Structure 1
């Protein structure tokens, strides 16, 4: 079977070394196996998505010596597909509208999951105005319908899917056409991705994605969760903390192909290493 991987950055801030490493992993796995490496721009995050950064993303990847196959894919051109999937799940009785604020959820939550405080189910059994609401997955009902599920990570092997760890996740957001869980799952299926590469910080999210694949009848890829580039305090590189951008390095005249080779051979800049990384605050 032909291997297809993808790199899927969000254009809400410049790319940094962590993105470079993730792109290199996806690119090199595809090339080593005679497959395809795709580029997808995840540009549906409301006002945070900045169109002016997209040319910078393309320039950064070319500077690293990474070539993608086929045209660049944009999530913003797939909104109808996200809406159709949402309507299908509604028709199955698996989504309910929710008007709870983040503060209300934090004050009422009693348990925590991989993404932070678990939604306590406040809106599950009451009538909520769907206008301007988020739509949540009734996790217990979805898990019962899908039955037992497995997924495979190239390093860890076969895994039992445990999406209930996340509680009733939002699939259709108030401020965006779809959540990461729904959009990424649909996009990987539409793009024919057979090997999903991403950081270990998203390992647990795979439980939810496997459930969505079962509910929507989507193909099931294999996953490859790689370690993260982390700073001296153990936290992963993050755009919001001002980690050095690839664009700054590129414009300063640094050799991008040499940088890529250093990342491949695990020669990292001072103060940066490879590891699992501490969980980011939600």
Structure 2
């Protein structure tokens, strides 16, 4: 269904295909909502390693579309932490806020082709009905068959949902659970533009993975459920999804995953202990048994010690042991 793409984007198809074939391009895509915690930094290190082990380019993309959640100085601190660790990216920093035109073009093409419908269901309404009927978070399709009303009603615009057809969504998964979800039953019709006018994360991310020629997406296991909606967007556009590596999460002493929201331990805490970049890389790598405890080495030295398939097997083990 690549004919859904506007002509000037269809012309990128061959270029993107060549890019994926010639370079296993990867990316790290944090949101500027606060300082990176140690789990974020470990993900960045592994994303960098997996890309560099394949001779690929590693891009830094800032996912800053949800502007109310962005925090002043967060992007600068992200770049500072990555540079300090020696995790240097290729090319300029990419910002989703500067790519809105691309996403809007794809969104408009999907709407013109009849793939979208307006939805006026509130979050509260969906929360009230989701618990007794199947899996929470899957849209029950209340507005699917209604006559489309795109304009303002009671000073409120609708969200725009992508209509999913029956069938399973599949992707190549290297670490997490099998890359397969039932579209209507386990994913549901995906919001691509929110009722407040913001372009949705799933739309922007899916379009970027394709347009930037990303071959490998390395991110935390908590984002595995987001893969279904993003693959749904790519499939509807007739585009091939990248390969996904959903990494085991780093837990704190209470068994809770680290998070920026909860003020999870960050690089500054280890720097305050007097640790330099090599000691921090050593601790991050040792947390996955890639090096012995107490090892100190640069990111480049770690790269020289690793091979892709043994690394993948080592990353699978924590999930198998849990």
Determine whether 1:133 maps to 2:158: yes
Conserved 8 A contact 2:118-2:160: yes
Could you say what secondary structure the match of 2:86 adopts? coil
Worse-matched range after superposition: 218-227 or 39-48: 218-227
Alignment partner of 1:191 out of 212, 222, 236: 212
Determine whether 1:242 maps to 2:267: no
Could you say what secondary structure the match of 2:250 adopts? strand
Could you say what secondary structure the match of 1:231 adopts? coil
Give the aligned partner of residue 97 of structure 2: 76
Query: 1:254 deviation in Å?
Result: 3.3
Query: 1:87 deviation in Å?
Result: 1.3
Give the aligned partner of residue 38 of structure 2: 17
Conserved 8 A contact 2:119-2:161: yes
Task: Work out the CA distance in 2 between the residues paired with 1:267 and 1:222.
Answer: 22
Gaps of 5+ in 1: 277-282
Alignment partner of 1:154 out of 170, 174, 178: 174
Alignment partner of 2:75 out of 31, 54, 61: 54
Worse-matched range after superposition: 151-160 or 164-173: 151-160
Could you say what secondary structure the match of 1:202 adopts? helix
Determine whether 1:111 maps to 2:104: no
Query: 1:23 deviation in Å?
Result: 0.2
How large is the RMSD of aligned CA atoms in angstroms?
A: 2.6
Alignment partner of 1:220 out of 241, 266, 275: 241
Could you say what secondary structure the match of 1:15 adopts? coil
Conserved 8 A contact 2:168-2:183: no
**Structure with more of its chain in strand, by fraction:** 1
Worse-matched range after superposition: 79-88 or 166-175: 166-175
Task: Work out the CA distance in 2 between the residues paired with 1:138 and 1:23.
Answer: 34
Change (3 A) 1:224 1:267: closer
Alpha-carbon displacement from aligned partner over 1:28-67 (angstroms, at most 9, x marks no partner): 1111121111100001112111242111110011122211
Alignment partner of 2:119 out of 93, 98, 122: 98
**How many residues were matched structurally?**
265
Query: 1:250 deviation in Å?
Result: 4.3
Worse-matched range after superposition: 93-102 or 174-183: 174-183
Query: 1:159 deviation in Å?
Result: 3.8
After TM superposition, what 4+ stretches of structure 1 lie above 6 angstroms from structure 2? none
From the CA coordinates, give the structure whose radius of gyration is larger: 2
Change (3 A) 1:217 1:247: farther
Gaps of 5+ in 2: 1-20, 294-316
Conserved 8 A contact 1:161-1:211: no
Determine whether 1:262 maps to 2:262: no
Determine whether 1:200 maps to 2:221: yes
Query: 1:251 deviation in Å?
Result: 6.6
Give the aligned partner of residue 85 of structure 1: 106
Q: Given the two structures, how large is their TM-score scaled by the length of structure 1?
A: 0.84
Conserved 8 A contact 1:97-1:134: yes
Task: Work out the CA distance in 2 between the residues paired with 1:19 and 1:92.
Answer: 38
Query: 1:257 deviation in Å?
Result: 3.0
Give the aligned partner of residue 303 of structure 2: none
Change (3 A) 1:232 1:208: same
Conserved 8 A contact 1:46-1:176: no
